[in-house]
Structure 1
Amino acid sequence: MGVRHGREYELILKELTDAVGRIPDSYLFFEMEEEEWERLESAERAEVQEALAEDLFYALGEESVITVGSGVIIHDRNRYRIDILIGEEELTFVSLV
């Protein structure tokens, strides 16, 4: 189902893809080893990160907090946004409206 949003899905997906790309070990979400990730070409990495962003968008409709490597993705329903954290520090967020 995904999260409720007022912005175009494509814009949200692009921003979410960029955001998860900033998590240095986001590949762990797919149970990849660092060596596997390092062997991927940049275009392949971009595809994996976009797939991750799509998975997160839909999963956040059911689960409001999801761990991605050393990051945490949080659907903030009250502020209509998706927060991306590493540790206690906000890395970025994606607005849904």
Structure 2
Amino acid sequence: MGVRFNREYRDIVRDMGHALGQIDNCYESFAMERADWEELDREEQIEYMCTLADDIFYGLGAEPTIEIGEGKVQYDSVNHVIRIWTDAQVVHLVKLV
């Protein structure tokens, strides 16, 4: 099973990357320490988040929920969205169609 989508893939990854950057300790996915993450400039952080978004997108095809830092990402195939949560709060809904 894969994640079904009808939007431009680059737009989905961009939206996911932006939302993933709002998750506390998201940099732990790269085995980075907070100090290393904070040394990166904003553009580098965005590139990391888009790479993470790409990996998560394909991972959601096998696992409907993936934990990232202090949050999680969940694929909702019925509503054609990806939900990105921090703690117990929905941060962002990424539309797939």
Q: Same fold (TM over 0.5)?
A: yes
Residues 1:25 and 2:25 are matched in the alignment: yes
Per-residue CA distance 1:48-85 (angstroms, 9 max, x = gap): 11111111111111111101100110001111110011
Q: Taking structure 1 as reference, are residues 19 and 2 closer, same or farther at Cα in structure 2, changes over 3 Å only?
A: farther
Number of matched pairs: 97
Which range is displaced more, 13-22 or 1-10? 1-10
* Structure 2 counterpart of 1:7, one-letter code: R
Distance 1:27 1:65 in 2: 18
Structure 2's unaligned 5+ residue stretches are none
Q: 1:45 to 1:2 in 2, by over 3 A?
A: farther
**1:96 counterpart residue number:** 96
Aligned to 1:67: 67
Runs ≥4 residues deviating over 3 A: none
- Give the percent of matched residue pairs that are identical in Structure 1 and Structure 2: 38
- The residue aligned with 1:8 is 8
What's the CA shift for 1:2?
Answer: 4.9
Q: Could you say which residue in structure 1 is the equivalent of 2:77?
A: 77
CA RMSD, 1 decimal: 1.4
2:24 counterpart SS class:
coil
- Please state how far the C-alpha of 1:47 moved relative to its aligned partner: 1.1
Q: Which residue of 1 aligns with 2:55?
A: 55
Q: Secondary structure at the match of 1:66?
A: strand
**Normalising to structure 1: TM-score of the pair?**
0.92
TM, length-normalised to structure 2: 0.92
